[in-house]
Each structure stands twice: as structure tokens, then as C-alpha cells.
């Protein structure tokens, strides 16, 4: 039996103190093998003379700083609001695992300009032109190509999902969707500036806030979507089980059987 081909769609969790904006910086401390020898001696009570001859010590690592939204992650409904559909919103540990593994589809929106929102018509036109159909419970991946800005202007570049496009996907029976840029919506600073300029309280975070009235979850900071066909693969997107979490990092992969 041959093994399936698996394509990694997740960012590497690594030290990013200088590359990225402070809100998504990550700090990891790596401990060399020899650093643990005294730990074995003190906690385990094993004298050095009884250490195996080939035992240097064990390597260890500590994540000293990493927000749950700092790398490839899944936002839970709790991130959007304490209520969803009039009931307490699910935290990340309450997400049904059945949502997190299913057929995938890539929606190519890489032609969209920065700050130009993705509409429901954009998605319908893409599907029609490519003779594709969205099936309930698929995992929908929105390709914008903005993952190339990681370590550069990642927070400040991108298109983004409009409320009506997000709601349209939910209405097709989609529970899990994702995007390869910093956020699901238009870039945050742009949204804030536009809301102030137009004096309109409906513009800020409009895609996320669909999740207050219709339950869904989305993945942010995907990468490598260019390596996928539009269909013909499954997506696995299991979040870390963080009690009460608003989100959790996830190892997102596409699986070709």
C-alpha cells in the first residue's frame, strides 16, 4: 500500500522577532542536549556514572512567546463574539473534529488587488468559469497569494472576504474556510481608516462578524496554496486543544490519496 502525498499548508513556527509585526512575533528557546544532564541528575537522582555511554542528554525547547493567532491557526466562533446564533459561541476546544477533515477546494482570488474585497459574485464567477461546484462540508481555501509577504508587509497587504461572500459560503453548507493572508477580512488598518472616513459602523471586521449570526470557523495565515489544484484532495486542519481558547495553531495539510 503506497502512502498518500501530503502537502504542508502551514507556516513554520520559528523565532520571528525581527521579521514580523510585534503582534505576531514568536520567541522560542532551544536547549542543547548537554543542558539536561544536571536535570536528570537532580530530578531523576541518577548519578553520572550510570548515564548510558551514548547519552549526551535530551534536547528541549520552550515557546516563550507566541499568541494563538501568531501563525497558521483556526479562529473559533468565540473569537468573533461571546454569542453565536443567540447561544454561547464555541471555543476552540469545542469545535467538532468532524468539521476538520473533508474534501478541499481552492478558490483562486489572487487576481484581486490589495484592499479590493472578495464578493460572492467573484466566487460564483470563479466556480462557473472552472466548472466547479461547492459541496456542503467541503473545506474552502481562498488563495490570494499574499503569503509571499510574510516577514514584510504581511499585516498591511491583501484583499479580504466581504461579509456577503462569507455568508454565501456558509449558506452553501460550509463550516470551515481559510485564507493565505494575515486576516480573513481586508487589512485591519485599512478597514479602520475606511470606517472612520465613511462614518460607517458596518465596515469594520465585517467578514468575521458573520460568525455572530451564522456558525462557521476560518483558518488564517495559510501558505503554499499555489502548489494545489483546485480540487482532488482532502484537507486536515486540527487545532490544538486549548481550553476556552479563541483560536489555536494548527498543522494544516492537503492529502492526495
CA distances from 154 to 17, 144, 209, 250 (A): 14, 12, 22, 19
Of the residues 38, 65, 92, the one at which a domain ends: 65
C-alpha closest to that of 68 among 218, 257, 253, 242? 242
For residue 39, what pLDDT is reported?
67
Q: Rounded to an integer, what distance in angstroms lies between the CA atom of residue 52 and that of residue 184? A: 52
pTM here is 0.92
Q: Kindly report the length of the chain.
A: 257
Q: Is residue 12 part of a domain?
A: no
Kindly state whether residue 121 falls inside one of the protein's structural domains. yes
Structural domain of residue 58, as residue ranges? 27-65
Q: Cα dihedral angle (59, 65, 67, 68), rounded to 10 degrees?
A: 10
- Residues 58, 82 share a domain: no
The whole-number pLDDT of residue 230 equals 98
DSSP three-state, residue 8: strand
Residue 4 lies in a domain: no
Q: Say what the pLDDT of residue 218 is.
A: 98
Q: Domain check: are 99 and 42 in the same one?
A: no
* DSSP-based three-state secondary structure for 89: coil
Look at residue 1 and tell me if it is in a domain: no
Say whether both 60 and 150 belong to one domain.
Answer: no
pLDDT recorded at residue 37: 67
* 95 found inside a domain: yes
Residues 181 and 109 in one domain: yes
Instruction: Provide the CATH number for the domain around residue 163.
Output: 3.50.30.50
Query: What would the pLDDT profile of 140-193 be if each residue is shown by its tens digit?
Result: 999 999 999 888 888 899 999 999 999 999 999 999 999 999 999 999 998 899
Residues 160 and 142 in one domain: yes
Same-domain status, 197 and 251: yes
Asked if residue 151 belongs to a domain, the reply is yes
The C-alpha angle 94, 187, 72, rounded to 5 degrees, equals 40
Whether residues 209 and 150 share a domain: the answer is yes
Q: How confident is the model at residue 23, as a pLDDT?
A: 84
Residue 200 phi, psi (nearest 5): -125, 115
The pLDDT of residue 69: 95
Q: 110 with 55, same domain?
A: no
The answer to whether 248 and 240 have CB atoms below 8 angstroms apart is: yes
**In a shared domain, residues 60 and 85:** no
Whether residues 209 and 250 share a domain: the answer is yes
Distance CA 66, CA 195 (A): 30
Evaluate whether residue 99 is within a structural domain.
yes
Among candidate residues 11, 38, 65, the one where a domain is terminated: 65
117, 190: one domain: yes
Q: Is residue 172 part of a domain?
A: yes
Same domain, 48 and 81: no
Number of structural domains in the chain: 2
Positions of the chain with pLDDT under 70: 17, 19, 37-44
Amino acid at each position: 500500500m503506497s502512502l498518500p502525498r501530503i502537502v504542508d499548508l502551514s507556516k513554520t513556527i520559528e523565532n520571528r522577532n525581527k521579521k514580523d509585526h510585534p503582534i505576531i512575533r514568536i520567541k522560542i528557546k532551544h536547549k542543547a542536549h548537554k543542558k539536561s544532564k544536571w536535570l536528570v541528575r537532580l530530578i531523576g537522582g541518577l548519578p553520572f556514572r550510570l548515564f548510558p555511554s551514548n547519552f549526551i542528554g535530551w534536547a528541549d525547547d520552550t515557546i516563550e512567546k507566541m499568541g494563538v493567532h501568531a501563525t497558521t491557526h483556526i479562529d473559533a466562533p468565540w473569537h468573533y463574539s461571546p454569542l453565536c446564533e443567540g447561544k454561547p459561541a464555541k471555543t476552540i476546544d469545542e469545535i467538532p473534529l468532524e468539521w476538520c477533515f473533508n474534501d478541499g477546494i481552492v478558490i483562486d482570488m489572487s487576481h484581486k488587488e490589495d484592499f479590493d474585497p472578495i464578493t460572492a459574485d467573484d466566487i460564483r464567477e470563479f466556480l462557473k468559469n472552472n466548472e466547479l461546484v461547492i459541496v456542503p462540508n467541503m473545506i474552502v481555501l481562498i488563495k490570494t497569494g499574499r503569503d509571499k509577504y510574510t516577514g514584510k508587509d504581511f499585516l498591511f497587504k491583501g484583499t479580504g472576504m466581504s461579509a456577503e461572500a462569507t455568508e454565501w459560503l456558509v449558506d452553501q453548507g460550509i463550516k470551515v474556510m481559510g485564507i493565505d493572508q494575515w486576516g480573513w477580512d481586508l487589512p485591519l488598518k485599512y478597514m479602520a481608516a475606511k470606517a472612520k472616513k465613511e462614518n460607517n459602523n458596518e465596515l469594520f471586521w465585517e467578514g468575521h462578524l458573520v460568525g455572530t449570526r451564522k456558525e462557521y470557523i476560518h483558518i488564517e495565515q495559510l501558505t503554499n496554496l499555489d502548489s494545489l489544484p483546485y480540487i482532488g484532495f482532502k484537507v486536515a486542519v486540527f487545532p490544538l486543544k486549548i481550553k476556552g481558547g479563541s483560536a489555536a495553531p494548527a498543522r494544516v495539510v492537503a492529502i492526495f490519496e
